[in-house]
Amino acid sequence: MDNPNTDMQLCSVIRQNLESCILGKSKEIGLLMTALLAGGHVLLEDVPGTGKTQLVKALARSIGGQFRRIQCNPDLLPTDITGVSIFHPRDEQFVFRPGPVMANILLADEINRATTKTQSALLEVMEERRVSVDGFTHDLPSPFLLFATQNPIEFEGTYTLPEAQLDRFMVKLTLGYPDEATELQMVLSHQSGQLLDRLEQVAEVEDILRIQERVRRVHIDEALGDYLIRIVRGTREHAGVQLGASPRAAISLLGAVKAYAFLQSRDYVLPDDIKDLVPSVLGHRLLLHTESRINGLTPDEVIEEVVQQTKVPIRLER
């Protein structure tokens, strides 16, 4: 099956599957699908009970991917994530026992409760899709996506994610509380059991790999590429920003806008695709000056200013 229309329809079916499980969060599910098709990792920051874990489980079940969950805490060791080599006396050799990282969908729940040493074990995993244990390198399954959650309210016993790790998350999103009508529908629907338990698989991981390859071929005009770069560079030049978006951020934004365009049933990128995704892709990568934070400036406000000041290209070629 190598038909773009068929692949777009499959993406729509996956999205509908997720929306049947996570009610009232169409925009956030769209961002999740964007990261999936672009092969990017996702940071979910929200208060407990908003459905973060359920959303990731629903995605794994929808595509038939191997799912593993890590509950992060200060006692978690790097080898608890990557795996460890165990010596077998009878065979007189070390045998690698893979950790939970060997999965298609890995959920690191409350990632900021793990120590910085344990968090660093995920750096190679996120960037290179492999782990190195005792001098040997082990490739991860493909596709591989890391979804990490953190609670923005509780700070006791937490470790702030370093900028280098934040920069490896393609998208940061927040689910938030549902509206009153959706919450009522959600409560009533749980009377007959968990919605996740009734969710069916609608795709294969091989389908995702094929669609990811098709997404990489989505066209972006050179003028739009220049527009994207000027926005990224604009975050570095803003007076209130200490650390702006990196070149890795520009690459992530390019991949995300291509996936976003594909989900809109297009094989080309529009300026609005970039405008729609900039806050979710760049916001968590900006480090503001202390004085700016004291004065109430936020990364979203910085991005809004940069986008408004960046001239949109008028003529585009397909």
Q: What is the pLDDT of residue 120?
A: 82
Give per-residue pLDDT as tens, 178-206: 889 988 888 888 777 777 888 899 999 99
In the structure encoding, which two tokens stand for residue 38, read together? Answer: 């672009």
In the structure encoding, which two tokens stand for residue 211, read together? Answer: 């669609």
Q: Is the pLDDT of residue 292 over 70?
A: yes
Q: Is the pLDDT of residue 92 over 90?
A: no
Residues 6+ apart with CB under 8 A from 137: 130, 131
Q: Which percentage of the chain shows pLDDT scores above 70?
A: 96
Q: Taking residues 87-98, report their average pLDDT.
A: 78
Q: Is the pLDDT of residue 243 over 60?
A: yes
Q: What are phi and psi of 69, to 5 degrees?
A: -125, 135
Q: What is the pLDDT of residue 157?
A: 64
| Closest to 32 (Cα-Cα) out of 44, 23, 21, 24 | 44
Q: What is the pLDDT of residue 156?
A: 65
Rounded distance between C-alpha atoms, residue 116 and residue 108, angstroms:
14
Q: Is the pLDDT of residue 135 over 90?
A: no
- Which of 36-40, 44-48, 264-268 is least confident? 44-48
Q: Is the pLDDT of residue 109 over 80?
A: yes
Rounded distance between C-alpha atoms, residue 224 and residue 204, angstroms:
33
Q: Which of 7-16, 79-88, 117-126, 309-318 has the highest mean pLDDT?
A: 7-16
- The 3-class secondary structure across the chain, one letter per residue, is CCCHHHHHHHHHHHHHHHHHHCCCCHHHHHHHHHHHHHCCEEEEECCCCCCHHHHHHHHHHHHCCCEEEEECCCCCCHHHHHEEEEEECCCCEEEEEECCCCCCEEEEECHHHCCHHHHHHHHHHHHHCEEEECCEEEECCCCCEEEEEECCCCCCCCCCCCHHHHCCEEEEECCCCCCHHHHHHHHHHHHHCCCHHHCCCCCCHHHHHHHHHHHHCCECCHHHHHHHHHHHHHHHHCCCEEECCCHHHHHHHHHHHHHHHHHCCCCECCHHHHHHHHHHHHHHHCEECHHHHHCCCCHHHHHHHHHHHCCCCCCCCC
pTM: 0.90
Q: Is the pLDDT of residue 237 over 90?
A: yes
Rounded distance between C-alpha atoms, residue 229 and residue 236, angstroms:
11
First-residue to last-residue Cα distance in the chain:
25
Q: Is the pLDDT of residue 273 over 70?
A: yes
In the structure encoding, which two tokens stand for residue 213, read together? Answer: 């390859």
Q: What is the pLDDT of residue 88?
A: 78
Q: What are phi and psi of 134, to 5 degrees?
A: 55, 40
Q: Taking residues 293-302, report their average pLDDT.
A: 93
Confidence of residue 31 (pLDDT cuts 50, 70, 90): very high
